[in-house]
Structure 1
Amino acid sequence: MKSVLFAILKSTTCLMTIVGCGHAAVVPDRTRVIFNERSTSVSLVLSNQSKALPYLAQSWIEDATGRKNRNFIIALPPLLRLEPTEQTQVRLAKQPSLNQLPRDRESLFYYNVREVPPKADKPNTMQIAMQSKINIFYRPKAIEIKTGEVLPFDKVIVERTNEGLNFSNNTPYYITLGYIGMDGKSLFPQSESVMLSPFSKGGAKVKNLPAKFKIGYIGDYGGLTLFSVNCNSVQRQCAQAAIERGK
């Protein structure tokens, strides 16, 4: 299951002054945010994992192209101080321009938080600044999902190709595929995943794909929802069925 967990956490990135990846001190409490139209704001919790050092946390929003954007959603406060082991909330506030976005599908944004470590008290000390980036899915009220319901992955057409798989997302939702494989062993290369935009097509290069396997997409709360898939040698389009929890 290690490869599955890597896929789930792929949306969290880190920026450092040296090559490699350590552990962030300031971390958000989730890997994605669902921002329903009916909400005026959404709050998430930042935690300072350090038991000894205070950190500043700098927050901002990017649009789907990765550019900073304050026109639709803003993070409040944009800068705050976290004492050792402290937790605090950041509010993602709705702006009037959100009403101009498409009403028949989700829109994608990114929440970023960069930790700023305290000034080193020793000379010639290398400091590391970590940054986390998580998805924000703005969901119009016409397509809001009730509590307990899941994304309609059965409307995603799965086709087998010589390279791997093709997907046709016939839903108004962003669907992130975090797992393709069997028995907990992913066939995705390392921590790779695929995010399908609403009403779009995409593909995944998968080697040694068996006739029967499982596909897992990442749900609203960050967990995997699994489907069993059967791609026989006669039909190009695969058959799929939801897997009940615990199976």
Structure 2
Amino acid sequence: MCNKAWRWGLRGLLCLLGGSSWAGLMAESTRVVFAGGSAEQSLQLINLNRYPVLVQAWVDDGRLDSGPDTLGAEAAVMPMPPIFRLNPDGQISLRLIATGTPLPVDRESLFWLNLYEIPPARMDLPAAARTLTVTLRTQMKVLMRPAGLRAALEDLPRWLRFAVTREPGGAQLRIDNPSPYFASFRALELRCAGLPALALAADMAPPLAALSLPLPASFHCEDGAATARFLLLDDDGQPLAGETRVGER
């Protein structure tokens, strides 16, 4: 699947740089970052479908049961326009405006941009024909990053700490993130001498918090002998590699 180019037209830009895609609706980047208290950001979108689409946009806390009115006045970001039509190959610069909602100043805050894509109804079918209209909703991250954070994003892999904890329900891998950034994982695996690498599905470790992942009962490694290798994603969706020894708790 092609993903993110600019001068030669948005279609070529998006395919080269690896942006996000929603069926035929495609964006120039994988996330939006409000850095240093910026008041507005823009996101270029293009409709790669062969038909026009109606798009509704809103920002919320990421719950699947949320809608455009879920957060109301508490929404930290407002997309403009909130509803728009895009013809085939049509482009739009979606404005994302910070509303000034109070947020923590010592860490990032995470919200989600929703793009609800509605295709047109078929008008060339017999009156008695049965049809099914498929609407698509996709979410992408919106990160609110305050100014003056005590670490650089490129140093994030060195901040993370990994440890195996013994719980009543079984062993878990605990990932402590003492940094002010969300750690978004692209890949994570544990390695131990004499054992095949164990790939784990990890999403995000929140800032100044921890993420716990269950370990299979078949994974046995001597204390301090395991190594975690991982890839995080930076603001451009590019990987940040890290490797560290796994401790025991």
* Secondary structure of 1:165's aligned partner: strand
**2:115 alignment partner in structure 1:** 113
Query: Distance between the aligned counterparts of 1:213 and 1:152, measured in 2?
Result: 15
Query: After TM superposition, which residue ranges in structure 1, 4 or more long, deviate above 4 angstroms?
Result: 64-67
1:89 to 86, 93, 108: 93
2:132 to 122, 126, 130: 126
1:224 to 224, 230, 239: 239
Shift of 1:64: 5.7
Stretches of structure 2 that go unaligned for 5 or more consecutive residues are 1-17, 192-196
Whose relative contact order is higher, 1 or 2, with alpha carbons under 8 Å and at least 6 apart?
Answer: 1
**2:188 alignment partner in structure 1:** 180
* Secondary structure of 2:154's aligned partner: coil
Pair 78,186 (structure 1): closer, same or farther in 2 beyond 3 Å:
farther
Pair 209,105 (structure 1): closer, same or farther in 2 beyond 3 Å:
farther
Shift of 1:154: 1.4
Contact 2:116 2:138 in 1 (8 A): yes
Shift of 1:112: 0.3
Answering whether residue 31 of structure 2 is matched by residue 32 of structure 1, we say yes
What is the TM-score when the length of structure 2 is the normalising length?
0.72
Query: Distance between the aligned counterparts of 2:117 and 2:150, measured in 1?
Result: 33
Shift of 1:182: 7.5
Contact 1:25 1:115 in 2 (8 A): no
Shift of 1:127: 1.6
* Equivalenced residues, count: 206
Pair 145,65 (structure 1): closer, same or farther in 2 beyond 3 Å:
farther
Query: Distance between the aligned counterparts of 2:150 and 2:81, measured in 1?
Result: 27
1:135 to 133, 141, 147: 141
Pair 134,214 (structure 1): closer, same or farther in 2 beyond 3 Å:
same
User: Share of identical aligned residues, percent?
Assistant: 23
Stretches of structure 1 that go unaligned for 5 or more consecutive residues are 1-8, 14-22, 238-247
* Secondary structure of 1:142's aligned partner: coil
Query: Distance between the aligned counterparts of 2:105 and 2:28, measured in 1?
Result: 28
Indicate the structure (1 or 2) with the bigger Cα radius of gyration: 2
**1:103 alignment partner in structure 2:** 105
**2:229 alignment partner in structure 1:** 214
**1:59 alignment partner in structure 2:** 57
Alignment root-mean-square deviation, CA: 2.9
